[in-house]
Structure 1
Amino acid sequence: MSIQRLIFFVLSALFFIGSSVWIKDEISPKWIKYQKEYYKEQAIKVEKEYSAASSAKEKELLGRRLASLKRPVYEVKQILLKGDYSWDKRLNGDKVDRCITCHIDEEKLKEKHPNAKEFPFDIYGCAVCHGGIGRALNEKIAHKGIYYHKRQMEQRLVAAESLFEFWSELANLTPEESDPNQRLGMGDFKKYSITGDKAIYVGSKKCLKCHTGLTSPHVERWLRIKFKTFELVKEAPDYIAGNEGYRKTCLKCHTTGYDETTGRYSEEGVTCEACHGAGEVFSYFMDIGKALEGQKIAKVGTFGTPYNICGPCHHTRNHEMRLKFFQERGADDEWFFPQHTTPYKTGLTEKGDASKSLPKIY
């Protein structure tokens, strides 16, 4: 046999093998295997529930579900994300995430992702946090550059830009509000770390170790005024008399790191992280000697005094409940408004000394 024929034979054999593998993958892709396993598990689970069911109505519902599980439709499942792919990333067309084609068990996904309530899969997909190529159906291609767990996600945090890209993508994927002033930007996601979890508040003591000397005028002023706001709030008659709901409205602005779901906060008063955000990430950069990277993150959303940082608390309507409280007790305007604001006229200033016994509120 000549060399030319041998080469032709070898190449033909390789082509045949490659084509066979490709055809097999196209006819019976691996994702079908995962879906078969899932539907089989679900069918067994529903069969047990059906056997244990007591009412006829419950049996009927479970029977229908069982029938559909035993005749499943294997199909590509995808989430249509907000935005489009761009040619500069060598992709085009609609932005989709097809991870759920293989990772089909949504209940298990929710168990492993406690933050799914804040970042629902049907809006944000999976690739925004885990990386990889969410559009691919081939497992090897889909998992290219993927971050399987939090430790791997954290390892990509080599510069501030890594976090900025993550925050920007979250902002891009978030559905737009009709009001342009309510639309979210990168800075609105500053409270999240690179893993998608809420960033940890490290406390002002850690910040002040360096900044007492570096930015002393700012620190001295803040320590004298804002750090102590909650001390004054706790002495306020309306806070003392108020119920839990009333006090919560005070905690939102007069503590740092307040979590409405748990009712807990990091520190009393308006401390460093109240404006600069939870310090987990930028303090990490400071600790490893990348102070400039940490500084970039700390500045996000704080310069230019944007509304989303200052507005939620520095809003006159936030104190309407206090106005009502003091009006009902015939108190003077002075007891409702801090010294640095212009009092509204309530017409109660001529009611004698009803407010004299109340401590002054700043």
Structure 2
Amino acid sequence: MSVQRFIFFVLSALFFLATVMWFKDEFSPKWMEHQKKFYEEQVEKVERDVAAATSAKEKDLLEKRLASLKRPVYEIKQILLKGEYSWDKQQNGDKVDRCMTCHIDEEKLKVAHPGIKEFPFDIYGCTVCHGGIGRALSEEMAHEGMYYHKRQMELRITNAETMFDFWSELATLTPEESDPNQRIEMGDFKKYSITGDKAIYVGSQKCLKCHTGLTSPHVERWQRIKFKTFEYVKNAPDYIAGNEEYRKTCLKCHTTGYDETTGKYSEEGVTCEACHGAGEVFSYFMEVGKAPEGQKIAKVGTFGTPYNVCGPCHHTRNHEMRLKFFQERGGSDEWFFPQHTTPYKTGFSGKGESVSKPLPKIQ
């Protein structure tokens, strides 16, 4: 055999082998193996449920599900995320997350991510916390630069910019609010830690260890008034008489770190973290000697976005249910108006000067 024929034979063999491998990857990709395994496991599970069914109706429903599982459709599953990729991240086009093509078992995902209601996959995807490449379908490429466990995610926090990038990405991914005044900014997401879990409220006492001396006038005023708002609220006749739903409207603004899903809160009153956000990350930076980074975190969402911070509670209609309560049942208006309330400006005189009017009395 001549040298030319030998080279031709070797190249042809390599080309044939490459073609076979391409066909295998194209028509029987690895992600399909994950889906086949999932459906096989589901078939076995439902077959056991059918055998254990106690009623004809239950058995009929399970058999229909079983028939569907035995005719699976193998397909690429993806979540279309809000926003677009940018060239500076070496990606382009629509933002998509295809992790669920392989990680198809939603029940397992829910167990591994107990906060899924607060941090839903269909809005935020997986890569915002775990990293990796969401568009990729091969395991090697998809898992490139990935953070597998919470500890690995937490080790990313070396400076404030890490959190800013994370919160900014969440702001980009979040659907627009219906309220035009409610601008979605990264400060709105300080409630999340880098793992996607709710950030921990550390308590005002931890803040006051330093800030009692550093910002004493501000701290003194806040402790005298805002820290004690809930003491006043819980003694009010309408709060005492109100049902659970009524009290929830009070707890949202007169406690710190209130969680509507559990009904629990971090502290009574409007304390430091009510405005500055949960202090987990801020406190971490202060403890490791990175005070400037902590200061950056504390300012996010507090300065420059007054509506987002103050608006949800300092809203003109927030106390309408209280006004209605006292109008219907009667009582002294001292319970309706906080002791520190002063007359407020409601308009302008004909000369262009602001006019102060007292708050309206309850009829």
> TM-score band (shorter)?
0.7 to 0.9
Distance 1:334 1:314 in 2: 19
Aligned to 2:182: 182
Q: Which amino acid aligns with 2:266?
A: S
Aligned to 2:341: 340
Deviates more, 1:7-16 or 1:283-292: 7-16
Q: How many angstroms does 1:14 deviate by?
A: 6.4
305 and 63 in structure 1: CA distance in 2 versus 1, 3 angstrom threshold:
closer
Q: How many angstroms does 1:170 deviate by?
A: 1.1
Aligned to 2:355: none
Aligned to 1:235: 235
42 and 236 in structure 1: CA distance in 2 versus 1, 3 angstrom threshold:
same
- Please state whether the residue corresponding to 1:235 is helix, strand or coil: coil
Aligned length: 348
Distance 1:106 1:313 in 2: 37
Distance 1:72 1:251 in 2: 49
8 Å CA contact retained: 2:164, 2:186: yes
Aligned to 1:223: 223
Q: How many angstroms does 1:226 deviate by?
A: 1.3
After TM superposition, the score normalised by the length of structure 1 is 0.87
56 and 330 in structure 1: CA distance in 2 versus 1, 3 angstrom threshold:
closer
**Is residue 106 from structure 1 mapped to residue 121 from structure 2 by the alignment?**
no
99 and 9 in structure 1: CA distance in 2 versus 1, 3 angstrom threshold:
same
8 Å CA contact retained: 1:333, 1:345: no
Distance 1:223 1:151 in 2: 36
Q: How many angstroms does 1:126 deviate by?
A: 1.0
Q: Which amino acid aligns with 1:224?
A: R
8 Å CA contact retained: 2:183, 2:308: no
Distance 1:222 1:251 in 2: 18
- Please state whether the residue corresponding to 1:177 is helix, strand or coil: coil
Q: How many angstroms does 1:257 deviate by?
A: 1.0
Alignment of 1:77-116 (within 5 A): 77-116=77-116
- Please state whether the residue corresponding to 2:80 is helix, strand or coil: strand
Distance 2:243 2:51 in 1: 50
- Please state whether the residue corresponding to 1:316 is helix, strand or coil: coil
Alignment of 1:233-312 (within 5 A): 233-304=233-304, 306-312=306-312
Query: Cα RMSD between the aligned structures?
Result: 2.5
Deviates more, 1:145-154 or 1:1-10: 1-10
Distance 2:126 2:335 in 1: 52
Deviates more, 1:131-140 or 1:63-72: 63-72
After TM superposition, the score normalised by the length of structure 2 is 0.87
186 and 15 in structure 1: CA distance in 2 versus 1, 3 angstrom threshold:
same
- Please state whether the residue corresponding to 2:181 is helix, strand or coil: helix
Q: How many angstroms does 1:136 deviate by?
A: 0.3
- Please state whether the residue corresponding to 2:116 is helix, strand or coil: helix
Distance 1:215 1:4 in 2: 85
Q: How many angstroms does 1:244 deviate by?
A: 3.3
Distance 1:344 1:214 in 2: 36
* Unpaired segments ≥5 residues, structure 1: 349-362
244 and 73 in structure 1: CA distance in 2 versus 1, 3 angstrom threshold:
closer
Deviates more, 1:146-155 or 1:55-64: 55-64
- Please state whether the residue corresponding to 2:289 is helix, strand or coil: coil
300 and 347 in structure 1: CA distance in 2 versus 1, 3 angstrom threshold:
closer
Q: How many angstroms does 1:179 deviate by?
A: 4.0
8 Å CA contact retained: 2:230, 2:268: yes
Alignment of 1:126-141 (within 5 A): 126-141=126-141
8 Å CA contact retained: 1:98, 1:134: yes
Deviation string for 1:116-173 (max 9, x for gaps)?
1122222221111111001100100000011111111101111111111111111111
- Please state whether the residue corresponding to 1:66 is helix, strand or coil: helix
Aligned to 1:171: 171
246 and 65 in structure 1: CA distance in 2 versus 1, 3 angstrom threshold:
closer
8 Å CA contact retained: 1:85, 1:91: yes
Aligned to 1:198: 198
Aligned to 1:352: none
8 Å CA contact retained: 1:273, 1:279: yes
Percent identity, aligned pairs only?
A: 80
8 Å CA contact retained: 2:171, 2:189: yes
Q: Which amino acid aligns with 1:286?
A: M
- Please state whether the residue corresponding to 2:234 is helix, strand or coil: helix
- Please state whether the residue corresponding to 1:317 is helix, strand or coil: coil
Q: Which amino acid aligns with 1:255?
A: T
Deviates more, 1:158-167 or 1:315-324: 315-324
Q: How many angstroms does 1:18 deviate by?
A: 5.3
8 Å CA contact retained: 2:202, 2:280: yes
Aligned to 1:208: 208
Aligned to 1:159: 159
Q: How many angstroms does 1:270 deviate by?
A: 1.1
Distance 1:36 1:16 in 2: 28
- Please state whether the residue corresponding to 1:218 is helix, strand or coil: helix
Deviation string for 1:259-304 (max 9, x for gaps)?
1222221111111111101100111011111111111111011113
177 and 256 in structure 1: CA distance in 2 versus 1, 3 angstrom threshold:
closer
